[in-house]
Amino acid sequence: MTWRAIKNALAGLLAGLAGGILLGVLVAVWGAAILSLVQGPGGWQHGAIYVTVSVLVFVLVPWVVQGLAMLQRSRIRATLGTEIPAPARTSGPASWLVGPWLAAATWRQLGYHVLAVVTGIGGAVLAVLFPVWPWLARQMTRTDERLARALLGPGSREALALRVESLARSRADLVDAADAERRRIERDLHDGAQQRLVSLAMNLGMTRERFEGESEPVRQAIAAAHDEAVLALTELRQFIRGLHPAVLSDRGLVAALSGLAARAPLPVRLQVDVPRPASAAVEAVAYFIVSEALANVAKHAQATQAEVAVTRTGHTLRIAVTDDGRGGAAFGRSDGVDGTGLRGLAQRAAAVDGTLKIDSPRGGPTVITAELPCES
Amino acid sequence: MRIVIAEDSVLLRDGLTRMLTDGGFEVVEAVPDAGQLLRAVAEHRPALAVIDVRMPPTHTDEGIKAALVIRRQFPEVALLVLSQYVEESYATDLLSEATSSVGYLLKDRVAHVRDFLDAVRRVAGGGTALDPEVVAQLLVRRRDDPMERLTPREQQVLKLMAEGKSNAGIMSALKVSPSAVEKYVTNIFLKLDLPAASTDHRRVLAVLKYLGS
């Protein structure tokens, strides 16, 4: 079917072009002769030629039209196998001269020959391009899409703005989800493992009391199990608190921070001026920054005291942790191998669009400053 | 001695009941939430209530709130609050209304049965039992006031006093002589400008001052 169509298209091109050129030449000659007659022929010989040519063409054109129609009909028959009957011939006294011009069939056929030029060229082009149709279709689709995007949708600047907005939203959702997940895990551990472990430690404690009169190995075994349970309980408690301090959701940042300051192994002065609370996610980040910064101070700074200042001005929560230690703190490697965890803090701050700076000259003092934007 | 327990975990409720019963106390009722606690206390008028901080429905600080209600309605009921975490802000709330017959301990402490039962007896007897962690937190909070005049050793002694320890208890905890403890205690009274009165009364005042309000 396809090959037949291609054959037909190519034959259509030849026939169409041939008809087009032939008719075109005839019409051009006729037009020129008529024009020359109207403008005034130079001498009677010329006039006679012009008149002859005009009449000749007038007579010839219907013949050519019918001849071409025959050619086209046979082309259709040859390539497509479709039989198209010829229209009835005109008859009457002047049938050979004026008759064809009066027949609707002649005008229809003339119309066909004009169209045949267009369909011939178009069909042939499409047929020749047949092997690359899929590619062409893809290109057209792509171009169409590009055009539509460029002309029908938002401009590139607007698109970028939309993208940034959607990214910011999805990241905020992600941060909130992570925060909620930590809270859920904290709750699950509190209600589950922690209670069970308290119960276990308590039972072992009671067993230890009850078997005090037993032999040394028995007492030792029970004591070891009891001590281990107590240790596990302490570790789990610290782990859970590190995950998400319950007091942060219950009583807010100030209560959570004063607990942190109190637990630190060195004296910590705490100054909090937060007239309006920030969002839960931002407060959690603030809490962890202070927590990690203080842990760092205790571990690396050799400081005798530290100060934590948390202030909110407008839409910014500012956290500053200062110590009087030896200084020299830096971000360290991203995998945290060299152990300061400060890079992790910077990442945490960045997750809520905040910044974290370290100012820690050798010899101290060290100041870690974080600024977190808060909308509410 | 009659005790009411409020604890939402079945496991711990049963464990605490068993331990306190073994320890010679009478657990008259063990309930899972604050509402039932208030009802049980009104009904039984126990000598002491053991209260978990985090209970249904909100799982935040129901226990502290219930303890404060009990203290206002039934001041004769001693309160021992247990918490998975010691939070300074919970402790301050509790101690702002109750400075005697009150205890605030980490839940972990129930593992050390003898110490825990001692604490129960001390609180029921009108004393205090504050978790060392609570005390440490309160101590940090009050760094800017008269407490700063105390030497670290005196602060340690005061801390033990706040935990409810007697001179003998402080002596064994710090491994010092009785006369040394006497000296520290006298210095504390002096530095905190406490009026001359019976030693017991001054002790309470010192702890009160220490806890602030």
Position A35 pLDDT exceeds 90: no
Residues 153-212 of B with CB under 8 A from A: none
Q: Looking at the domain assignment, is residue A285 inside a domain?
A: yes
Q: Chain A, 246-265: which have a CB under 8 Å from a chain B CB?
A: 246-247, 249-251, 254-255, 258-259, 261-264
Cβ burial of A247 (10 Å; 0-12, 13-18, 19+) is buried
Q: Looking at residues A218-226, what average pLDDT do you find?
A: 94
pLDDT-wise least confident of A49-53, A336-340, B52-56:
A336-340
pLDDT for A78 beyond 80: yes
* In-domain check, residue A41: yes
CATH label of the domain that carries residue A309: 3.30.565.10
Q: Are residues A254 and A189 in the same domain?
A: no
Q: Which residues of A touch B9 (CB under 8 A)?
A: 191, 195, 199
What Rg value do the Cα atoms of chain B yield, rounded?
17
How many of the other CB atoms lie within 10 Å of CB of B27?
19
**Which of B54, B113, B136 is opposite residue A209, by nearest beta carbon?**
B113
Query: Is residue A152 in a domain?
Result: no
| Residue A289: count of CB within 10 angstroms of its CB | 26
Contact A190 B18 (CB under 8 A): no
Closest-CA distance of chain B to residue A359, Å? 26
Q: For residues A356 and A261, state if they share a domain.
A: yes
Name the domain boundary from A203, A226, A242: A242
Name the residue in chain A with its Cα closest to that of B58: A250
Within 8 A of B110 by CB-CB distance, chain A residues are: 198, 201-202, 205
- The reply to whether A37 falls in a domain is yes
pLDDT of residue B140: 58
Task: Clarify whether residues A203 and A232 are in a common domain.
Answer: yes
Task: Looking at the structure, tell me whether residues A64 and A119 fall in a common domain.
Answer: yes
Asked if the Cβ–Cβ distance from B15 to A202 is below 8 Å, we say yes
Indicate if A190 and A258 belong to the same structural domain.
Answer: no
Average pLDDT over residues A28-47: 82
Q: B142 to chain A: which residues are within 8 Å by CB? A: none
Which whole-number Å values give the CA distances from B51 to A20, A47, B104, B119, in the listed order? 105, 129, 9, 14
Query: CA nearest A225 in B: which residue?
Result: B111
Structural domains in chain A (count): 3
Q: Which pTM value belongs to this model?
A: 0.61
Closest in A203, A234, A247 to B108, CB measured? A234
User: Do both A131 and A204 map to the same domain?
Assistant: no
Query: Which of A242, A264, A298 finishes a domain?
Result: A242
Task: Say whether residue A271 is in contact with chain B using an 8 A CB cutoff.
Answer: no
CATH topology for B2-130 is Rossmann fold (3.40.50)
Q: What's the pLDDT tens digit per position in A111-154?
A: 888 888 888 888 888 877 878 878 888 888 888 888 777 777 66
Residue A59 lies in a domain: yes
Per-residue model confidence (pLDDT) at position A336 = 45
**Does A154 fall in a domain?**
no
Question: Domain of A128?
Answer: 2-144
The domain at B142-211 falls in which architecture? Answer: Orthogonal Bundle (1.10)
Domain co-membership, A195 together with A61: no
User: What's the angle, vertex CA B39, arms to CA B36 and CA B45, rounded to 5?
Assistant: 125
Q: Could you tell me if B108 lies within 8 Å of chain A, comparing CB atoms? A: yes
pLDDT value of residue B139: 63
Q: Where are the domains of chain B?
A: 2-130, 142-211
Q: Cβ contact (<8 Å) for B19 and A206?
A: yes
| pLDDT tens, position by position, B12-46 | 999 999 999 999 999 999 999 999 999 999 999 99
Do A256 and A352 lie in one domain? The reply is yes
- Domain assignment of residue A161, yes or no: no
Query: What proportion of chain A, given as a percentage, has pLDDT over 70?
Result: 93
Are A284 and A331 part of one and the same domain? yes
A1 band by pLDDT with thresholds 50, 70 and 90: low
Which segments in chain B show pLDDT lower than 70?
A: 136-148, 193-205, 208-213
Shared domain check, A286 and A197: no
Q: Would you say residue A153 lies in a domain?
A: no
Q: What average pLDDT does the segment A235-257 reach?
A: 85
User: B129-160 b/e with 16+ CB inside 10 Å = b?
Assistant: bbbebbbbbbbbbbeeeebeebeeebbbbbbb
Collapsing DSSP to helix, strand or coil, A359 comes out as: strand
On whether both A296 and A325 belong to a single domain, the answer is: yes
Q: Give the pair of three-digit tokens for residue A134.
A: 């899929």
Tokens of A92: 């009457």
Do A223 and A132 sit in the same domain of this protein? no
